[in-house]
Amino acid sequence: MSFDEETAVRLARRPRWHYREGVSALDPNAIRQDFPILSREIHGKPLVYLDNAATSQKPFQVLKTSRDYYEEINANIHRGVHHLAQAATTAYEAARETVRAHLNAQSVEEIVFTSGTTDAINLVASVLGRSGKINAGDEIIISGLEHHSNIGPWQILCEQLGISLKIIPVREDGTLDLAIYETLLTDRTKLVSINHISNAFGTVNDVNSICHLAKQVGALTLIDGAQSIAHLSIDVQDINADFYAFSGHKVYAPTGIGVLWARRDLLEELPPWKGGGEMIKEVSFEKTTYNDPPFKYEAGTPNIEGAIALAAALNYVNNLGIESIHSYETHLIQELSSILSSIPEVTIYGPHDRSGAISFNIKGVHHYDLGTLLDQMGFALRTGHHCCQPLMARFGITGTLRASVGVYNTIGEVHALGEALERALKMLR
């Protein structure tokens, strides 16, 4: 945390929270000690939390950061000359630098704090719609794997401006048909907006190739990184997109904080989204001069604590090592896939190579009934369409049961889920 030196030293010595500074190697059993919620019981059974694609749990390091902000430096940021305002501003802007480094963005001016991925996508849709970069007769491309948050904003924009929405189809194995994608691209394509990892199936999309092909027709590109931020190393310069959005709560940070990364030249060129304090330089009743990015897109008092806690979460992840996390979680998903495959009449959706989540159904058993029974055994899984109704319709289903992993899940929990499924199926069949 980037508080003033005196406060930082005092906070470091405070024994309110007891936590480790980190582990030298990725040891999930040791990591679990950082997450207080994992010690609780559900219906008298130890909690097995496998709903990380919906939201992740928070370690002591992040919880402490949130509490310390409110107890030690709570103040509104920027402009204030008093000590607390300056300390809060320093911490907030240091968090922006942490995000920049994590994404390998070129400058902090490219990092806009939002309330989450949905907020970020709506921001882009709104400013593009008023920018003149997209007009009637133009086209936007999304995919059949998208979360509703990457569908609805574009449908609204299409209705407003008379734009066509094209869809990259999903193949039977849960991957995108990139050959058809190439045929969808035309000189009228103005934006391609794709998720990095499917929240429903765990499909990892080839965003580098998708962006490369879009650039050949002059289209802008947006990557929904809500799922990828916790599982993959993200380099926005390597991906070569124009926008990248993610939510803090998917990567061990609080809810209500997110990030839109965008190329600086675009942020300078595009119009503001909301009006209010901070996003202006000068105001008169005759004319307003807008602030420079990123402040141009951060109207009003932001989620100061959330941004600082997000930085703490990213530091936590980087301390463990994102490559180590990815390797370990891949092992968990592969083991879970093997266990599920051994269950008679199970259907697993999506490709063999997936990240973060695995979705499945079992013939003759409704996913909701199975999820409810698993809950009684202490297992937290997600049931339903996962805000991906078009994807569910593509496969002729109403939803799935989804297990999604985090850095604190263990092989023991995966095996326990397999045993719980066997018990549950005996009750339901």
Residue positions annotated with a catalytic role = 387
- From residue 226, alpha-carbon distances to 116, 147, 214 in Å are 8, 10, 21
DSSP state letter for 71: I
On whether the CB atoms of residues 117 and 224 are closer than 8 A, the answer is yes
Q: If you write DSSP's letter for every residue of 201-221 in order, what string do you get?
A: T-BB--HHHHHHHHHHTT-EE
d(CA 305, CA 18): 21
On whether the CB atoms of residues 260 and 226 are closer than 8 A, the answer is no
On whether the CB atoms of residues 349 and 390 are closer than 8 A, the answer is no
Residue 117 is which amino acid?
A: T
d(CA 226, CA 247): 6
d(CA 161, CA 158): 5
For the record, the structure tokens of 170 come out as 């999903």
Cis peptide before 28 (omega within 30 of 0): no
- From residue 60, alpha-carbon distances to 27, 38, 51, 137, 304 in Å are 16, 12, 19, 51, 19
